[in-house]
Amino acid sequence: MGVIMRDDFRLIAKIYDRIIKPKEVISWANYICKPNTGKKLLDVGGGTGRIIQSINTCFDRVFLYDVSISMLLEAKSKNIGIIGVCGEVENLGFPSNSFDVIIMVDTLHHVEDHKKAILSILEVLKPGGVFVLEEPDIRKLPVKLIAIMEKLLLMRSHFLKPSEILSWINPVLFKIDLFEEENNYYFVIIKKSRIDVS
């Protein structure tokens, strides 16, 4: 018997891009759109593809992974050259060390098991690969109001402070940089190719 995944976005997939506009400037794009970052991208929780629309030309193969089949169908309808995969983030199902670049934008707070999701993502990141994680900052008042609204809409959202996420990532295995920007924060996480024991 298959598992029924919860889809908080099935009713708004058709209008999502009109409600949530992509940023004109993606400040972390320069970390991933470089010749030496590789050619295979995984957008985790990428929904309608609103983020990868502006960066997919940097990559040969783009996988969009989302729990919502409705959102994936919207992304596919844009003909932006993605490979859509439906599933839960906690169990990505890709082999270890599969992707040069992974992004997860405005998604982690919708995931049921945050730590398992992060560890699953880090497992499929190649050595030397880059993982960018962007989230709304629950320490900011506008995000607190969004959190209340999402609870009222019966969404399973749970926003995290950056320190909670940091506690799950081994700094011996990953180089981690944290940036704060308006009401969001983002991590740039690089999987070390070799461990420096000095």
Q: Is the separation of the CB atoms in 159 and 111 below 8 Å?
A: no
Q: Average pLDDT of 148-158?
A: 80
Residue 20 is predicted with a pLDDT of 59
Q: What is the pLDDT of residues 87-124, one digit of tens each?
A: 999 999 999 999 999 999 989 998 999 999 999 999 99
Beta bridge partners of 191: 174
Q: What domains can you pick out in the chain, each with its CATH number?
A: 39-191 (3.40.50.150)
Q: What Rg do the C-alpha atoms of the chain give, in angstroms?
A: 16
Q: What percent of the chain has pLDDT over 70?
A: 84
Q: Is the dihedral of CA 27, 33, 35, 36 positive or negative?
A: positive
The phi and psi torsions of 133 (rounded to 5 degrees) equal: -120, 115
Q: Whole-angstrom Cα distance, residue 192 to residue 130?
A: 10
- Its pTM stands at 0.84
Q: Is the separation of the CB atoms in 27 and 181 below 8 Å?
A: yes
More confident residue, 69 or 179: 179
pLDDT band at 13 (very low <50, low <70, confident <90, very high): very low
Q: Is the separation of the CB atoms in 104 and 166 below 8 Å?
A: no
Q: Cα torsion for 90, 95, 97, 98, to the nearest 10°?
A: -100
The phi and psi torsions of 69 (rounded to 5 degrees) equal: -65, -30
Strands 174-181 and 184-191: antiparallel
Q: Whole-angstrom Cα distance, residue 105 to residue 45?
A: 7
- Closest residue by Cα to residue 41 from 33, 193, 72, 173: 33
